[in-house]
Structure 1
Amino acid sequence: MLGRVAADIRVDDGVTDASRLHAVLLSRVASGDQGAFAELYDALCARVLGLVRSVLVDHAQSEEVTQEVFLEVWQTAPRFDVSRGSVSAWIMTMAHRRAIDRVRASQSGRDRDARIGIRNFDAPYDNVAETVETTIENERVQRAMTQLSELQRQALTLAYYGGLTQAEVAAALDVPLGTVKTRLRDGMIRLRDELGVAS
């Protein structure tokens, strides 16, 4: 299916430049081109599903989230900013965020069920204190993450929240493995400093 647009995007040696191809496809998607959307879907669906599945494990839920991701791609394509990274990194970050949201929603339901069960046994449970503590810790980490470069943030999100190996992160971001290792190392050092964690 990649033939129609791929034929227009060739480098001199005849090899398709995937990042450029994805950018052209997304720009066409932004103008409502359904054919370009189908090509982009075919090009990236397996990678998106693989990432989502590594977070969710459940195949049916992973397929649902993958469909949600591509719906979001269709709806938000006009807002994509090429200066902030590659199309595949943008979509993979979106997929990771949606997968994590699904995990949190499931966990929230389990936690609620557990609290109800605890209350049924009249065990003391300080929901407010736990919620405040979790919220404060999450806010600290989110603030610290904003101090990272966009490239470090993408790599850390995929590796530590997405559970991807360094090689998988490199593939998702279309960068060499050595670059990913450097971004992860530098990002972790920066996070440690921001959070005040002793080395």
Structure 2
Amino acid sequence: MTTTVSTADLKRRMHGAVEALRHDLQGLRTGRASTALLDPVQVEVYGSHMPLNQVATVSTPEARMLSVQVWDRSNVQPVEKAIRSAGLGLNPITDGQVIRLPIPELTEERRKELAKLVGQYAEKARIAVRNVRRDGMDHLKADEKKHEISEDERKRLETEVQKLTDDTIREVDELSQAKEKEILGK
């Protein structure tokens, strides 16, 4: 294919939007313990901000409990402070170098807020996918103008790009519906 935009490149970029959505959804609390819940936590240690997973090991010893094993005893307080101020609604219990985080039940109101957030994340992913499609379509039209591809070839490739877009948006919808179901407990 002589075109400047390849369907493989568009597929890779659309897949990137889906992966970003997966990552966003992982961080949402569903009432069950997940180590991904603490991924956004930044700890101020050694004069800089570091991700929690660079100063401690996070594990899930029980379905409703997270355990944070801090490697350096002097970092226990900053880690506890970072978890408290992260706005996750968690109440750390410190026991030596281990910080336990019981995961409370979600209230109905909080479940609805989280479900709304899932919808926002999904819409952000859909927009990203549509932007990739628009880029691809623009490239195809430009290639036709430059006589690098024929009108028939452009139409065939546009159909391919549209199918790729539809498939990717379907995947986004499936991910968001599954997460909503998980959050709302249905």
TM-score, structure 1 normalization:
0.27
Task: Say which structure is richer in helix.
Answer: 1
With CA pairs under 8 Å and 6+ residues apart, which has the higher RCO, 1 or 2?
A: 2
TM-score, structure 2 normalization:
0.29
